[in-house]
């Protein structure tokens, strides 16, 4: 009997079906990789298994018993523990490592009101010994590396006598050595009979440890690949078509160079690299979380500084000190996480579609200061028809729009005025397939500028770009994938 058996599980958000009847099972002592593009339903599935979301339908059984956790702590008690991507939520600076290890115990009712430091240390030591980790118990949690925080989270998970450990992008912020250490630990846990569901975009990781890969697409598990895992066919299953298929509208990079970077170091310790973007070209940069994609884009946009190197825009030296400098030089950026980086809160002035588009252009569109005349309304109407934004009108609040339409609005903001270089950081986050298609068409329709897109999802990169570059540890890798001609697999699976 499998440890976990998931049958016909469904979950919808409004009209979007995030999970459309997923079936799979996991055995004890097995490391299962879960693969899937953004929006394939991975995170919804994980959230259901970890008790964050409830399923709309279907059944999950764990150890032959029905499993439908209502909260993460219920899931934990039943034996399913999830270690999320952002491990800074595990503890807080100012707590010792021992405190962080026992944090969940402090919140339990059975714990005595007074706890002595000695007993905390004793219990924490026991937890670490059981897991086989070594961490400085008296150290400050805030001083731990990302890898060690991950270990704290895992040790806590194991102390709960977990049967199934879910790891969401655990190596995203780890160095190669740290990842290897984590893998050794995971393999020894597997030997003890623990089942591990491992979610990652890094094919190399999956190759190193996974016994089996489950591939999700469109809210279903569409494939299961046993060891030795054939990753190219797994990726083809994931994106639903052959990788070699050439893009019909591919353009060779023959336009004049718009933007050049020479001997760039993003961090003082990272290796230097060059980058040239041509007019009319769409270039995607992929890489795992923390590889430096956002940092590269922020540096080009003047929000973060470069450690060293020179940038040139249209042949002239370009050194922006702020976003305002970059915008003045015709560089535009739609930053990652549109809620945080682009939108005004609900019921706050400027949360309408028109005002969202006009925010960076107010001084250009309203040189006299008074918001008279319908310029922003008019621009918004154009954007609505050009990008196919589904909204009640230009004055509708962006909060009445779906994620895809919000993202279209943000893109419309930066397309409202001509730019030489458009930077898009994770433009397809929380965007459904239809809207993604519209956005890609809109991006590719413009040939008067260079476009640089950062995305952690290889499929997205492949769909949108003429060229795919890979960034790792804050430097661009020399392998350049030309989508038009060659097989994209090396670039995709880095």
Partner 1 sequence: MTTIDDEALPKAGAGPKSRNPANRLLALGSVLRAGAVFILLGLMVIGFTYAEPAFINIGNLMSILQAVSVVAILGAGVTVTLAVGGFDLSIGAVAASSVMAASYAMIVLHLDAFATVPLVLAFGAAIGLVNAFLIVRLRVPDLLATLAMMFLLSGLQLIPTAGRSISAGLVLPDGSKATGAYDPAFLLIGRYSLFNTLPVSVVLMAVAAIVLFVLTERTRIGRLLFATGGNEVATRLAGASTTRLKTLAYVISGTLAALGGIVIAARVGRGDVSSGGSLLMDSVAAALIGFAVLNLRRPNVLGTIAGAVFVGVLLNGLTMLNAPYYTQDFVKGAVLVGALALTYGLGRNTDR
Closer Cβ to partner 1, 246 or 378, answer by number:
378
Distance CA(352)–CA(333), nearest Å, equals 20
Nearer to partner 1, 125 or 361 (CB): 361
What's the chain's Rg over C-alpha atoms? Answer: 24
Q: Does 357 bind partner 1 (CB under 8 A)?
A: no
Give the whole-angstrom CA distance, residue 408 versus residue 483: 24
Q: What angle (nearest 5°) sits at the alpha carbon of residue 450, between those of residues 446 and 456?
A: 100
> Would you count residue 335 as binding partner 1 (CB under 8 A)?
yes
Distance CA 258, CA 314 (A): 5
Could you say whether residue 93 binds partner 1 (CB under 8 A)? no
The residues in 4-33 that bind partner 1, with binding defined as CB under 8 A, are 14-15
For residues 404 and 435, is the Cβ–Cβ distance under 8 A? yes
Residue environment code for 124-137, b if the CB has 16+ CB neighbours within 10 A, otherwise e: beebbeebebebeb
* CB 461 to partner 1: min, Å: 23
328 is a site residue for partner 1 (CB under 8 A) = yes
Does the footprint of partner 1 cover residue 343 (CB under 8 A)? yes
Strand, helix or coil for residue 279? coil
| Consecutive H or E run containing 263 | strand 257-265
Residue 297 in contact with partner 1, rule: CB under 8 A = no
Residue 344 sits in the site that holds partner 1 (CB under 8 A): yes
Asked if 363 is part of the footprint of partner 1 (rule: CB under 8 A), the reply reads yes
The rounded distance, in Å, linking the Cα atoms of 390 and 383 is 11
370 touches partner 1 by CB under 8 A: yes
Which has the closest alpha carbon to 424: 465, 459, 389?
465
Closest distance of CB 431 from partner 1, Å: 13
Segment interacting with partner 1 (CB under 8 A) among 110-118, 123-131, 252-260, 368-376? 368-376
User: Least distance in Å: CB of 380 to partner 1?
Assistant: 11
Question: What string marks each residue from 381 to 400 as x (binds partner 1 by CB under 8 A) or -?
Answer: ---------xxxxx----xx
- Which residue of 39, 76, 280, 360 would you call a contact of partner 1, by CB under 8 A? 360
Q: Per CB under 8 A, does 362 bind partner 1?
A: yes
Q: Is 41 exposed, middle or buried (0-12, 13-18, 19+ CB in 10 A)?
A: buried
Closest CA to 268 of 423, 474, 12: 474
Q: Under 8 Å CB-to-CB from 437, ≥6 apart: which residues?
A: none
Per-residue binding letters, 246-285, with partner 1 (x by CB under 8 A): ----------------------------------------
State which residue, 121 or 293, has the beta carbon closest to partner 1: 293
Nearer to partner 1, 257 or 323 (CB): 323
Query: Residue 207 or residue 325: which is nearer to partner 1 going by CB?
Result: 325
CA 4/CA 489 separation, integer angstroms: 32
| Residue 327 Cβ vs partner 1, minimum distance, rounded to whole Å | 4
**Strand-by-strand arrangement of the 212-217 sheet:** 80-83, 164-168, 195-199, 31-36, 212-217, 220-226
Q: Which is nearer to partner 1, 176 or 392 (CB)?
A: 392
Residues of this chain that bind partner 1 (CB under 8 A): 14-15, 301, 303, 322-324, 326-328, 333, 335, 340-351, 355, 359-360, 362-363, 366, 369-372, 390-394, 399-402
């Amino acid at each position: 009997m499998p440890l976990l058996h998931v049958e016909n599980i469904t979950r919808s958000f409004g009209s979007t079906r995030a999970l459309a009847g997923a079936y799979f099972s996991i055995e004890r002592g097995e490391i299962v990789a879960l693969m899937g593009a953004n929006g394939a339903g991975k995170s919804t599935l994980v959230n259901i298994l970890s008790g964050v979301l409830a399923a709309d339908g279907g059944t999950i059984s764990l150890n032959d018993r029905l499993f439908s956790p209502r909260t993460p702590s219920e899931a934990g008690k039943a034996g399913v523990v999830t270690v999320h991507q952002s491990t800074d939520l595990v503890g807080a600076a100012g707590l010792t490592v021992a405190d962080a290890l026992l944090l969940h115990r402090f919140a339990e009712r059975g714990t005595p009101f007074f706890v002595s430091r000695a007993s905390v240390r004793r219990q924490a030591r026991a937890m670490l010994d059981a897991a086989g980790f070594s961490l400085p118990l008296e150290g400050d949690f805030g001083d731990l590396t990302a890898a060690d925080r991950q270990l704290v989270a895992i040790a806590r998970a194991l102390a709960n006598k977990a049967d199934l450990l879910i790891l969401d992008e655990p190596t995203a912020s780890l160095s190669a050595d740290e990842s290897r250490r984590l893998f050794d630990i995971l393999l020894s846990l597997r030997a003890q009979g623990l089942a591990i569901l491992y979610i990652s975009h890094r094919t190399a990781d999956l190759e190193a440890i996974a016994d089996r890969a489950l591939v999700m697409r469109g809210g279903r598990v569409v494939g299961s690949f046993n060891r030795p895992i054939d990753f190219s066919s797994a990726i083809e299953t994931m994106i639903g078509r052959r990788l070699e298929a050439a893009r019909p509208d591919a353009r060779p990079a023959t336009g004049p160079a718009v933007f050049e970077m020479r001997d760039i170091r993003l961090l003082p310790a990272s290796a230097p690299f060059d980058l040239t973007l041509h007019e009319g070209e769409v270039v995607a940069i992929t890489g795992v979380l923390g590889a430096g994609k956002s940092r590269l884009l922020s540096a080009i946009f003047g929000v973060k500084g470069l450690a060293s190197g020179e940038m040139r825009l249209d042949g002239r030296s370009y050194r922006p000190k702020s976003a305002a400098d970059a915008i003045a030089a015709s560089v535009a950026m739609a930053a990652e996480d549109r809620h945080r980086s682009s939108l005004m809160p609900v019921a706050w002035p400027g949360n309408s579609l028109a005002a969202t588009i006009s925010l960076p252009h107010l001084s250009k569109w309203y040189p006299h200061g008074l918001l008279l005349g319908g310029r922003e309304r008019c621009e918004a109407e154009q954007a609505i028809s050009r990008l196919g934004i589904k909204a009640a009108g230009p004055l509708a609040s962006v909060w009445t729009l779906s994620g895809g339409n919000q993202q279209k609005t943000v893109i419309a903001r930066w397309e409202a005025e001509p730019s030489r270089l458009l930077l898009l950081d994770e433009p397809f986050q929380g965007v459904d397939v239809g809207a993604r298609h519209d956005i890609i068409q809109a991006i590719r329709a413009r040939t008067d500028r260079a476009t640089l897109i950062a995305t952690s999802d290889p499929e997205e990169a492949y769909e949108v770009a003429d060229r795919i570059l890979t960034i790792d540890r804050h430097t661009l890798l020399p392998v350049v994938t030309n989508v038009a001609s060659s097989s994209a697999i090396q670039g995709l699976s880095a």
